[in-house]
Amino acid sequence: MHKRTDPFELVTERLRSAPWYRQLETRLGTNEDIGLKTVHGSLGSFIVAAFYPTLDRQIIVLTAAEDTERWVHDLRQFGIATYACLPAKHRRTADEHTELAGALEALSAYWQERATVLVLSPETWQLHLPPPEWFESNAITLRPGDELPFEEFRQYLVLGGYHPCDYVVAPGEVSVRGGIVDFYPLGWQLPIRLEFFGDRIESIRQFDPLSQRSIHRIEEAFVFVAYPRDESLMTSTVEQFFEPNALVVVEHPDDIASRFSALGLAPSFERCTRLLLNPLGSAEITVQSTPQPACRSAVGHLYDLLLELEQADSLVLLCADSAIHLERLQALLRTLAEQRPPDEQLRLERIVWSTRSPDAGFLLPRQGIAVITEHEIFERRRARTTDQQRPKLTLRELQQLRRGDYLVHIDKGICQFDGLETIEISGHKQECVRLLFAEGDVVYLHLNYINKLERYSAADGTPPALSKLGTREWERKKARVKSKLKDIARDLIKLYAQRKASPGFAFPPDTVWQAELEASFLYEDTPDQARATQEVKRDMESPTPMDRLICGDVGFGKTEVAIRAAFKAVQAGKQVAVLVPTTILARQHFQTFSERLARYPVRVEMISRLRSGSEVATILRDLAEGKIDIIIGTHRLLSDDVRFRDLGLLIIDEEQRFGVAAKEKLRQLRVSVDTLTLTATPIPRTLNFSLMGARDLSIIETPPRNRLPVETEVIEWDDDLLRYAITRELERGGQVFVVSDSIEGIPAVQQQLLGLIPTLRIGIAHGRLAPAVLESVIERFLERKYDVLLATKIVENGLDMPNVNTIIIVNAERYGLAELYQLRGRVGRSNRQAYCYLVVQSLRKLNRQALERLRAIEELTELGSGFQLALRDLEIRGAGNIFGAEQSGYISDLGFETYHRILDEAVQELRTEEFAELFPTEQRTYTNDSITIELPSDALLPSDFVPSDVERFEWYKRLYRCTSPAELSAIEEELRDRYGPLPVEAEQLLFGVRLRLLGSKLGAERIRIERSLMSIELPRTAPPWYYEQIFPAIVAAAAEVTGAHFRQVGSTAILDVPLATEQDAIAVLDQLVAAVAALRQPQASPTTPARTSR
């Protein structure tokens, strides 16, 4: 039913036949103000969408600032191009430009006729804008094939206010490379790349500012060739953009009037018609809608409502934000239908389903219309999908290498990067990396061995000592670490083997209750969270005891995954123990578990020092008798007097914070009971691979979609601004964190705060307080007995304080990027807008590194952005946490990346040697990463093609690290996209990388091409099985190649192949690699890189 028509259009079609709507249509023709009463949910947007196609006049929506996003979202669901024109959200900042960015974008989109509805708030009237004439005089249309003087155009953009830079990532920036002009015009969602041939536009593409890759071509671009930075231009207000006879839809007009009055504004709507939604007092038209009825997450209530609507022959539109949510709801309703008698059967095919969802549902009983949203059924916030804040900082910029940065050469040790140098080898130009070692020694590293280099990073960020060449100290260090790592990994693998051999309990599949609980989660599941939930449930349903570690930032939904697992265990008649390191965390988990499971017959209890002796005795008795389903507590739960009737699941939060004895006890439990461990310390993604099989790992690194980014601002101490920030937070019932960089600095900051607001109730927390005192301060803060918690950075890691949404970090320049990111992560855990103020002593006196760190944290406002970008030092701490504190010392000895490399080798050797029977599927491969390629021509990226040597180094690293032809093609495409046609030397470089990719898979040590002959040197030393299996396969494949022959030089076998063209070399290598790949090794064997002495 209704299959061909758009679901939203079905509703607007029925709306148009309502008597009150026809009355409204008539009134719209008279140009008089009209009042509409009882407009609930998103009905206002549906009404605008109903008359939009036939109303030939400008439409403006005027609403409260906090509701603008809702209108933009709802109208865009109808395909109506809608933009919000208002100041940067809730921000008081000296930078007028960021204040205007959103408004200018909306007005320019409107000017380009890409926006047809503007959404405003009273605050929009405060903005000073360029006049309409500015938009008119600076607009041009660009098309491929147009003649446009290249140099003149470049200068015009710069003189017009575009800011020249290396990468274009933010509106108003321009970058020129060769014949390519990248610029980010006003009003565009993405920047534009123009490729010129002389003074002619060859192509126009839009590109992604994060990856810098083109996304698609466009045939026409209407752009503004100037960017309004000059304050003398800003002479207009928004009213000058109103057309005569515009229709202004005013939501809650009385509230809007009082907001204008509070701002000291009195706008005139003389030339406009106003449609007033929900005015106080009487109104010309009453719509008689009602809000969507509350179902309180109970699908049974929804079923009854739908049955009632079906019997009344209503048009029911059921909307969800995604197909997954829709399918889950349909499945729940089908299951319920099976349990109902024949006269209560719901015909699901009569419901209209939509994966587009308005902000709020509504019912119009007289018209027989019901719009129901899935997120309201489950009392969940809708995921907001209006324009994401643009990333202003790229991964490339943050992690870019600079001269003087530390690197690790895997064979020679710690050195410093000193740029690239072009040298000649046999008359052909090649680039080398110049490396500085101790005592002024310099090594020129050929690009063939660039893979031997890793970045050096360690937790504390202190510079390491450079290695001395010509000693064996580095080799000894590596061997020592590898042997230690093998001991640790060996224990993990043994534990894994014990677990695999132990019979566990296989939990039954999900029930309706399970699906209902998951659907009622306050936030929409992120893909990571959904995957983690599936992985945990799959583990629980298998007969082997689960041992899974879930790693995710604070507030990313790990606890929710744990609650789902606990509920699944309880429904199977098992008990669940939740173990936490502190009383405060125990109380928090107790509240969260109790609230989430309140609707179900599940008994949750807590043991902690907050309980009296008699209460604990009762709880322990009930636990032993099986009357308690979920018990939450500190290490007290591991005491001998705690007995379970049938323990089925153990959940451990932040295990690394428990003592040795507790960990040993947990180890014994793990073998037989399903165990789920949660941690907020980021664990390096690559450790995934190292630990695969030793411990299962789920990483949640995407933040919940409907969380708001934290507004972040770098400021000098400003009494007015900070008083305003604290007062704003307290007035909305919230609390504030203030972080001091030292314990000694706390009293001074306390005095400054009391100087701003003498009545502030301030709690003080730092590491020198006795544990009980510290816990009591934090408890009092949680109970809202303090307005402000003034603390050092010890503010507890795993604590969730949704009521704290403003954080002020004093002397922010003294923190590392990851620390700032983590501190800021303490706020913004609810659906309220959160604020972070980074207070520095003097903006003018900051050094470059501090400025970059602060700029990065200010711009990476999305929750979770730091997870991908800046958490190198936290990853290092994470490695230390998994393997124990002593590892942190090894990490600073070797650098994190090299430590990793050695860890990988250690685990791999154990899996293929000592524990081969546990991992029978290991593939026997022999590759050589350090293969040498020699070509008869220049092979490099010329400096006039990629000017920066740091940038060239990054490209070389990517090229020499790629592992497949597809990846290499993607890099080649990106080079062409960003810099234009490839010069001959770059083509040769790519050819060399192709040879390298294929040759390394044969284990070859060298490939040399000279005068139409390719010579492939096979390894001198390799494991016996290489000569028994791989070598014969290469010989057999070579026999099929015309003119190919082997020769022996000393102990090295060399295969010579005559070539007619370069492509022949690739074809022959492809043939040889295919022959090796066809081999199947049934038993396990070591993966050993070829030993090549350089």
Tokens at residue 1039, please? 């026999």
List all residues 6 or more positions away from 762 whose beta carbon is below 8 Å from its beta carbon: 750, 753, 754, 786, 787, 788, 789, 790
Q: What is the pLDDT of residue 393?
A: 35
CA dist 934 and 925 (Å) reads 25
List all residues 6 or more positions away from 593 whose beta carbon is below 8 Å from its beta carbon: 563, 566, 578, 604, 630, 632
Q: Are residues 123 and 172 in the same domain?
A: no
Side chain identity, residue 719 = D
CA dist 789 and 770 (Å) reads 17
Confidence bin at 1083 (pLDDT 50/70/90): very low
Beta-bridge partner residues of 348? none
- Identify the domain boundary among 830, 862, 894: 862
pLDDT tops 70 at residue 862:
no
Q: Are residues 187 and 301 in the same domain?
A: no
3-state secondary structure of 319: strand
Question: Which residue from 1076, 1094, 1093 is spatially nearest to 926, judged by alpha carbons?
Answer: 1076
Q: Are residues 282 and 296 in the same domain?
A: no
What is the arithmetic mean of pLDDT over 123-146? 88
List all residues 6 or more positions away from 67 whose beta carbon is below 8 Å from its beta carbon: 121, 251
- Identify the domain boundary among 662, 695, 728: 695
Q: What is the pLDDT of residue 1009?
A: 93
Give me the CATH number covering residue 151. 3.30.2060.10
Q: Are residues 41 and 80 in the same domain?
A: yes
CA dist 38 and 856 (Å) reads 47
DSSP per-residue codes, 182-215: EE--TT-SS-EEEEEETTEEEEEEEE-TTT--EE
Distances (CA, A) of 334 to 314, 328, 380: 20, 10, 22
Residue positions counted in the chain = 1094
Confidence bin at 290 (pLDDT 50/70/90): very high
DSSP per-residue codes, 70-115: HHHHHHHTTT--EEE--PSTT---S-HHHHHHHHHHHHHHHHTT--
pLDDT tops 70 at residue 167:
yes
Strands of the sheet containing 735-739, edge to edge, are 711-716, 835-840, 804-810, 735-739, 788-791, 762-765
List all residues 6 or more positions away from 497 whose beta carbon is below 8 Å from its beta carbon: 915, 918
What is the arithmetic mean of pLDDT over 870-882? 45
Q: Are residues 112 and 255 in the same domain?
A: yes
DSSP per-residue codes, 321-363: SSHHHHHHHHHHHHHHHHHS-GGG---GGGSEEES---SS-EE
For the entire predicted model, the pTM comes to 0.64
Asked if 567 contacts 533 with a C-beta cutoff of 8 angstroms, the reply is no
pLDDT tops 50 at residue 395:
no
List all residues 6 or more positions away from 929 whose beta carbon is below 8 Å from its beta carbon: 451, 1000, 1089, 1090
Q: What is the mean pLDDT of the chain?
A: 83
Q: What is the pLDDT of residue 244?
A: 84
Q: Are residues 510 and 631 in the same domain?
A: yes
pLDDT tops 90 at residue 1008:
yes
In a domain, 874, yes or no: no
Confidence bin at 987 (pLDDT 50/70/90): very high
In a domain, 264, yes or no: yes
Tokens at residue 733, please? 């019932």
Per-residue burial over 1011-1026, b if 16 or more Cβ lie within 10 Å, else e, is eeebbbbbbeebeeeb
* Number of C-beta neighbours around residue 21 at 10 A: 19
Q: Are residues 856 and 745 in the same domain?
A: yes
In a domain, 472, yes or no: no
What is the arithmetic mean of pLDDT over 3-28? 88
Phi, psi of 479 (to 5 degrees): -65, -40
Confidence bin at 1089 (pLDDT 50/70/90): very low
Per-residue burial over 898-930, b if 16 or more Cβ lie within 10 Å, else e, is bbbbbbbbbbbbbbbeebeebeeebebbbbbbb
List all residues 6 or more positions away from 491 whose beta carbon is below 8 Å from its beta carbon: none
Q: What is the pLDDT of residue 318?
A: 95
Q: What is the pLDDT of residue 1077?
A: 85
Q: Please state the three-class secondary structure of 1007-1075 as a single string.
A: EEEECCEEEEECCCCCCHHHHHHHHHHHHHHHCCCCCCEEEEECCEEEEEEECCCHHHHHHHHHHHHHH
- Identify the domain boundary among 270, 286, 302: 286
Q: What is the pLDDT of residue 852?
A: 63
Domain that holds residue 154: 141-223
Q: What is the pLDDT of residue 883?
A: 52
Tokens at residue 402, please? 């600079």
Q: What is the pLDDT of residue 415?
A: 94
Distances (CA, A) of 770 to 60, 586, 660, 765, 775: 60, 19, 21, 10, 9
pLDDT tens-digit map of 692-750: 455 677 888 776 666 677 888 888 888 999 999 999 999 889 999 999 988 999 999 99
In a domain, 580, yes or no: yes
In a domain, 742, yes or no: yes
CA dist 582 and 771 (Å) reads 10
pLDDT tens-digit map of 950-968: 788 889 988 998 989 999 9
In a domain, 767, yes or no: yes
pLDDT tens-digit map of 506-542: 999 998 899 889 887 867 788 889 999 999 999 999 9
What is the arithmetic mean of pLDDT over 229-237? 80
Q: What is the pLDDT of residue 894?
A: 82
Q: What is the pLDDT of residue 381?
A: 67
* Number of C-beta neighbours around residue 595 at 10 A: 11
Q: What is the pLDDT of residue 509?
A: 94
What is the arithmetic mean of pLDDT over 650-664? 78
pLDDT tens-digit map of 433-457: 999 999 999 999 988 888 888 888 7
Q: Are residues 576 and 688 in the same domain?
A: yes
Q: Which of 44-48, 451-455, 476-480, 902-906 has the lowest mean pLDDT?
A: 902-906
The residue with greater pLDDT, 624 or 896, is 624
Side chain identity, residue 23 = Q
Highest mean pLDDT among 268-277, 410-419, 455-464, 565-574: 565-574
In a domain, 563, yes or no: yes
DSSP per-residue codes, 724-749: HHHHHHHHTT-EEEEE-SSSTTHHHH
What is the arithmetic mean of pLDDT over 229-240? 82
pLDDT tops 50 at residue 867:
no
pLDDT tens-digit map of 794-806: 655 556 788 899 9
Share of the chain above pLDDT 70, in %: 86
In a domain, 17, yes or no: yes
Give me the CATH number covering residue 746. 3.40.50.300
Q: Are residues 522 and 645 in the same domain?
A: yes
Q: Are residues 655 and 522 in the same domain?
A: yes
How distant is the alpha carbon of residue 398 from its chain centre?
A: 16
CA dist 685 and 699 (Å) reads 8
Beta-bridge partner residues of 112? none
Q: What is the pLDDT of residue 1084?
A: 37
pLDDT tops 70 at residue 406:
yes
Asked if 191 contacts 182 with a C-beta cutoff of 8 angstroms, the reply is yes
What is the arithmetic mean of pLDDT over 849-878? 52
Q: Are residues 786 and 853 in the same domain?
A: yes
CA dist 870 and 590 (Å) reads 33
* Tally of domains within the chain: 6
Q: Are residues 496 and 561 in the same domain?
A: yes
